[in-house]
Structure 1
Amino acid sequence: MTLEAPGVTFTELAGGSHPITATGTSTAAFLVSKIDSADKHKQLQLLSYNSTTSEANSLTDAEKAAVKGFFDNGGSNCYLVKDIDTLKNLPVQIVASPSSKIAMLADLAKHCADMGDRMLIISTDDEKKPENLMQLRNNITSVGSNKYVAFYFPWVRPAGSASAVSPVGHVAGAWARVDGERGVHKAPANVSLDGVTDVSVSLAPGDVGTWNEQNVNCLRVVPGRGVVVWGARTAEKGEPDWTFLNVRRLVSFLESSIKESIQWAMFEPNDERLWSSLRRDIGAFLTAQWRHGALKGSTAAEAFYVQCDEKTQQQAQAGTVLCNIGIAPVKPAEFVKISIQQLTS
């Protein structure tokens, strides 16, 4: 740069920080039996329901209802896939199958646990027999993938239809809508489902409590609001940290965002300069999440910590950089208790 006259000049230099980019949270995948009549697609991306009439012309009625329910309720991007091997290579965070049998659902649950960045939405295959859902739940959760699975009951009745359908697509859309409006940290519950008018089984408050104890999320009709999602639990009952699905999804989101954004650190000199860069970048990202309401605490120090220094490296194997990260996720107010006292004059 040649200076020709007195004055102040600026030179822009590349910064040393590597901002962490938030990954997506609301792209869905629906496992279907057949996508098109020519059977040429193993996967198909849809950005609207209209695409199902032209490109995905071989979906069953149940599969069409799930895809329509997804877009009706706020979803904007989904994939149709025919097998789990294809699913492994797709950037999805929500998985559902409106018509799979128990064996396939168990495989899908294991897939979600193995991937660690997605959750499976399940409902019973018979909308009028709650006991079938319990059998299904016991068979699915036996594979050890409980915290990556969310169960919903009962089925829903679409507007203008006399038949009930699985709610998995509608619920997936509601997850996507809440992610967009509030963030993945917000529990996708106490929200109305669009495009449906009723449920296949009416649930009394006592019924809802019974299902809630089994970590099954209920759908119920609320006067003036239509069909409302009335639960936000995973199928996990043994580990309290993973009871709520928004906590599971938040942690998966944080993990995938950090993992994808610190690839630059590979093969860098393993010294204090690297450790301080990781502390700075991860700390800045988590601070932004705390300010957005995803983490609790009156200060950032109460919301999370990032340890990456000489002490943590003593715990790591040679050639490994170890970062210890702790967070305080916000859990939903599942029960709200109000005490009213009548005062006498």
Structure 2
Amino acid sequence: MPLDYFAPGVYVEEVDRGSRPIEGISMSVAGFIGFTEDIRGDAELFKPMLITTWDQYLQSFAKEGSDGFTDFNAYLPFAVQGWFLNGGGRCWVTSIGTKLPGAEPPPIEQTGTKILTAGNRPSLQFTLKPAESESEEGGALALPGGDEPRLRVVIQESTPKPLPENAPDDAEPPYNTGEFFDLIVARGEEELERYDHLTMNPEVETQVADYVVTAVEDSEFIQAVDISQSGQPLSRRPMQGSYEITPPPYISDREHFARDLQGQRDDRTGTQGIFEIDEVAMIACPDLMKVYQEGLMNLEQVHGVMEMMLSMCENSFPGPAYRMAVLDAPPVKPTKGDNPVSADQQKPQDVAAWLKQFNRRSMFGALYYPWIKVANPRNGGRPMYVPPCGHMMGIWCRTDESRGVFKAPANETPRGVTGLAYDTNMREQELLNPMGINCIRNFANYNRGYKVWGARTLVEPDNVQWRYISVRRLLSYIEKSIEIGTQWVVFEPNDQILWARVRRTVNNFLERLWREGALFGTSPSESFYVKCDGEINTHETIMLGRLYVEVGVCPVRPAEFVIFRISQWAPNQ
């Protein structure tokens, strides 16, 4: 607003007097940590990557033309696929490697990139060349560093070599049989090396063309192997196109794997790094069970990772805590094989005993039992048991979209599930449910299929205020939304006008939630209150630059126990 008016006239001024609406945040973004088949494109090892569809996951964490699963049955691909199958949308994925720690590196002939002919037969295989200083020791490879893209080989159509300048005038140029091609080594848009007039004929005359394997021997970056079958050079020529050279898999040292898995928050790596993604509201590490089963981490080490996840969910300074960790119950003992978990290894009493041993309670954690049976594409579609965390978080997201964050994510059918590692009955759930262990039940007797039959957090059993997942997530949703939606208040004049604007802003937001059914009460006054006045904002607090706003809400709670009281009734008595 200008301070003075000097000339007569009409002045139009824009004044902001209304309250600013609070937009609710998304509580439906997941974070996954585990093993992947590959790491391609913009994805980086140990760093979170945004994934919005299963196809996008395949582009970043699967080999070209692959189904995205691994030969050692890592659980992360199953969890991410279960997330999308059950209604999950946006998620962040952190790959901690493409092989188990301490695994034997694959032979050189199984690494790199194979290029086919136009008839889909093998032609050439390209691998990264060891650095010259390391080649004698079999050391470092020519891997891109930092954010550098992978090396590519580009195959282009070519011709035989032209005649030399001193050739006779009547000399005829070599006949173009169509077998010739050029090879370009590139990184991103930068062309690193170029080899022209190549052929698949090892006996070609050098004045006509060069044999590709011989020509590439001088390359600083790649080495080529002729894997073509018998036939004419034209039929063995590689198909034109651009091909990314797959580097050898990263294999963690067994002693350092726990450190790699934990990562660094400042570097945004590992499990800690995914907590730096502000929009992630639910987190799981399904392959924590894989490394336990393979004997790479003992149960105490597994507990250490779980404890770290819960503690980081609880500590979200400077804002309110709003993330939840979805844990998986470990099998009784590590086993190996195609079917690593059986019903005998996950009985209810075993899971109850394990939780007492873990002895970590938190309102920001949830646990589901038992493991679920899914089809394994790497084993002809045969079933295998996997941790349920990814499928359950997908149900959380599905419930958020269909009903709202205030609806308990239970009494829902998990998609992509063909069976359970253990069929829990009512009496067994009476043991598990009070401990905060949410069961996935088989209701075949009622013709209802498989259902998620629990919605509790891992809070202490006597802390009924935070017993339910939906209540915890609703309060986190309200707290985080108010925090983000009232940033405009900072440095405003701390007076009655500001107090009234803040009350209107928060009141409007909570009334909208009440109308959606998130708050209990027949009227807004019964459901919530917002207090921001001179009683809590005294002269002393104003002098300290502080503005206090007191908000109370009455969240709806799930009807976990439905009791019908039925008796005989005689109307005339």
Same-fold call, TM > 0.5? yes
Counterpart contact for 2:29–2:89, Cα < 8 Å? yes
Structure 1 residue 11 displacement after superposition: 9.6
Distance 2:490 2:553 in 1: 24
Residues 230-245 of structure 1 correspond to what in structure 2 (within 5 A)?
Answer: 230-236=453-459, 237-245=461-469
Letter matched to residue 233 of structure 1: R
Of 269, 273, 285, the residue aligned with 1:86 is: 273
Distance 2:13 2:535 in 1: 38
Structure 1 residue 300 displacement after superposition: 0.2
Moved more, 273-282 or 25-34: 25-34
Distance 1:276 1:282 in 2: 10
Matched, 1:310 2:528: no
Per-residue CA deviations over 1:286-309 (Å, capped at 9, x if unaligned) read 000000000000110000001111
Counterpart contact for 1:109–1:140, Cα < 8 Å? no
Structure 1 residue 12 displacement after superposition: 7.8
Distance 1:136 1:264 in 2: 48
Which residue does the alignment assign to 2:385? 164
Letter matched to residue 119 of structure 1: M
Counterpart contact for 2:33–2:284, Cα < 8 Å? yes
Per-residue CA deviations over 1:16-56 (Å, capped at 9, x if unaligned) read 21110110011000122468447824111111112232211
Which residue does the alignment assign to 2:223? none
Which residue does the alignment assign to 1:154? 370
Which residue does the alignment assign to 1:26? 28
Structure 1 residue 208 displacement after superposition: 1.1
Letter matched to residue 171 of structure 1: M
Counterpart contact for 2:49–2:93, Cα < 8 Å? yes
Distance 1:49 1:22 in 2: 27
Which residue does the alignment assign to 1:49? 54
Letter matched to residue 509 of structure 2: F
Structure 1 residue 339 displacement after superposition: 2.3
Instruction: List runs of 5+ in structure 2 lacking aligned partners.
Output: 1-11, 63-67, 97-269, 289-301, 332-340, 376-380
Structure 1 residue 85 displacement after superposition: 3.2
Of 319, 324, 330, the residue aligned with 1:125 is: 330
Instruction: List runs of 5+ in structure 1 lacking aligned partners.
Output: 1-9
Structure 1 residue 147 displacement after superposition: 0.2
Instruction: Report the secondary structure of 2:366's partner residue.
Output: strand
Of 104, 112, 120, the residue aligned with 2:305 is: 104
Distance 1:240 1:36 in 2: 44
**Are the structure 2 counterparts of residues 122 and 245 from structure 1 closer, same or farther at C-alpha, using a change threshold of 3 Å?**
same
Of 46, 59, 81, the residue aligned with 1:68 is: 81
Instruction: Report the secondary structure of 1:105's partner residue.
Output: helix
Residues 133-212 of structure 1 correspond to what in structure 2 (within 5 A)?
Answer: 133-134=351-352, 136-138=354-356, 141-142=359-360, 146-159=362-375, 160-212=381-433
**Are the structure 2 counterparts of residues 194 and 107 from structure 1 closer, same or farther at C-alpha, using a change threshold of 3 Å?**
same
Distance 1:171 1:222 in 2: 18
Distance 1:141 1:316 in 2: 41
Which residue does the alignment assign to 2:250? none
Letter matched to residue 326 of structure 2: I
Moved more, 110-119 or 56-65: 56-65
Distance 2:358 2:498 in 1: 43
Distance 1:296 1:189 in 2: 19
Instruction: Report the secondary structure of 2:325's partner residue.
Output: strand
Q: Calculate percent identity across the aligned residue pairs.
A: 32
Structure 1 residue 226 displacement after superposition: 2.2
Counterpart contact for 2:36–2:74, Cα < 8 Å? no
Distance 1:133 1:106 in 2: 17
Counterpart contact for 1:44–1:80, Cα < 8 Å? yes
Distance 2:487 2:37 in 1: 36
Letter matched to residue 54 of structure 2: Y
Moved more, 316-325 or 234-243: 316-325
Distance 1:152 1:51 in 2: 28
Letter matched to residue 230 of structure 1: W
Letter matched to residue 490 of structure 2: M
**Are the structure 2 counterparts of residues 231 and 263 from structure 1 closer, same or farther at C-alpha, using a change threshold of 3 Å?**
same
Distance 2:411 2:557 in 1: 14
Letter matched to residue 16 of structure 1: G
Structure with bigger helix share is 1
**Aligned residues: CA RMSD:** 2.3
Which residue does the alignment assign to 1:7? none
